[in-house]
């Protein structure tokens, strides 16, 4: 095993640990307040924040040479699925007021933006986006994760 393989293995382990921690936080948060609309929206926001944050980490590891393009691509595929599941959850929520519709629609838009950035990261790894854009995409993903986390916190607070 050369250093590149060892770095890839360590990078995969770091991504897996990060995903496990975030998934646990999402599960615990979702259980705390998932019986009302805001609780369900918060759970989806946490899920999408996790996807964006994990994609940012995966891209950073790829840009640093710590993981291969294949590992990064698999990460982005998984995070696209996670963001998509969060998006589906938000879209499925019935609302009773225009205020609830506004909260749901805003979150749907925010999750869509995170998904777009994850897809940009995947395109970069495939060579369709210049590598020079990598740090900008990683920063955008982290910003999306922070924004979605703040939204989840607000929704959880009621």
pLDDT tens by residue, 75-112: 999 999 999 999 999 999 999 999 999 999 999 999 99
Give the pLDDT confidence score for residue 158 in this predicted structure.
Answer: 79
Check: CB of residue 29 under 8 Å from CB of residue 12: no
CA distance 95 to 56: 32
The mean of the pLDDT values for the chain is 88
Helix (H) or strand (E) holding 83: helix 69-91
Check: CB of residue 142 under 8 Å from CB of residue 53: yes
Place of tokens 């996807």: 51
CA distance 72 to 65: 10
102-114: burial string, b at 16+ Cβ within 10 Å, e else: ebbeebbebbebb
33 confidence band (pLDDT: 50, 70, 90): very low
pLDDT at 29 over 70: no
Least confident of 11-15, 37-41, 65-69, 122-126: 11-15
Place of tokens 């369709």: 128
How many of the other CB atoms lie within 10 Å of CB of 77? 12
Please, is 125 exposed, middle or buried when counting C-beta atoms within 10 Å of its C-beta (0-12, 13-18, 19+)? buried
Give the pLDDT confidence score for residue 70 in this predicted structure.
Answer: 98
pLDDT at 18 over 90: no
CA distance 67 to 98: 46
pLDDT at 43 over 90: yes
Domain boundaries, the chain: 3-157
How many of the other CB atoms lie within 10 Å of CB of 1? 7
């Amino acid at each position: 095993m050369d250093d590149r393989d060892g770095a890839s293995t360590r990078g995969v382990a770091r991504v897996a640990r990060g995903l496990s921690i975030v998934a646990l936080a999402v599960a615990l948060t979702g259980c705390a307040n998932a019986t009302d609309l805001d609780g369900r929206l918060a759970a989806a926001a946490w899920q999408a924040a996790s996807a964006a944050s994990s994609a940012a980490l995966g891209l950073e590891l790829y840009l640093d040479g710590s993981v291969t393009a294949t590992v990064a691509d698999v990460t982005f595929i998984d995070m696209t699925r996670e963001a998509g599941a969060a998006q589906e959850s938000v879209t499925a929520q019935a609302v009773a007021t225009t205020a609830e519709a506004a909260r749901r629609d805003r979150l749907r838009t925010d999750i869509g933006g995170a998904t777009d950035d994850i897809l940009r990261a995947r395109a970069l790894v495939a060579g369709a986006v210049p590598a020079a854009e990598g740090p900008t995409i990683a920063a955008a993903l982290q910003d999306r994760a922070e924004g979605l986390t703040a939204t989840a916190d607000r929704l959880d607070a009621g």
